[in-house]
Amino acid sequence: MKSIFLIGFMGAGKTTVGKALGEEMNLPVLDTDEEIVKQENRSINEIFAKEGEGYFRQVESQILKDLPKEKMIITTGGGIILQGENRAYLQTNGTVIYLHAKIEELLFRLQNDQTRPLVRNGDKQEIIERYQKRLALYEQTCHIQIQTEGKSVAEIVTEINECLK
């Protein structure tokens, strides 16, 4: 079985759903952002502040390629689809599941989040523009799209399992 990659915008539920899906399927779960933090030995906020987004994206691409390609749930950062090489890698090396929610829902979920460098300044219009820029990339990259609004984590996991059958 190839790995399962969860993609989607910040706040879509990738990490939460990934953990629950891993438990349900009895598979280990890795998070690309957590792997970056381990490798760099500093927070994502620190990486963005000191090195910039470009450096972060380079590290993210390398981490992605170094992760197992089989029997794994891999949750990704929201911007992993920005590079064409990452989109191609995801599509070729696993099943890509896009967790989708409308921007209004995501803004609500992100409103008090200070852990994400691209949300910390609280510029709502900038977040909306990022979402709009990425939307088509998520849709082009995924094999399966799951709507997450108004659903519990258990309902989302059940829907994913049904789609994987």
Q: Convert the pLDDT of each residue in 148-163 to its tens digit.
A: 999 999 999 999 999 9
* Per-residue confidence (pLDDT) for residue 127, from 0 to 100: 85
* Per-residue confidence (pLDDT) for residue 106, from 0 to 100: 86
Instruction: Give the strand pairing for 94-100 and 144-147.
Output: parallel
44 contacts 101 by C-beta, under 8 angstroms: no
CATH architecture label of 3-164: 3-Layer(aba) Sandwich (3.40)
Residue 40, classed as helix, strand or coil, is: helix
Residue 122 has pLDDT above 70, yes or no: no
User: What pTM did the predictor assign?
Assistant: 0.92
First to last CA, the chain: 12
In the chain, the amino acid numbered 147 is Q
pLDDT digit string (tens) for 62-94? 999 999 889 999 999 999 999 999 999 999 999
* Per-residue confidence (pLDDT) for residue 64, from 0 to 100: 95
CA distance 75 to 3: 10
CA distances from 53 to 32, 49, 60, 82, 156 (A): 15, 8, 10, 12, 31
Give domain limits for the chain.
3-164
Residue 15 has pLDDT above 90, yes or no: yes
Residue 31, classed as helix, strand or coil, is: strand
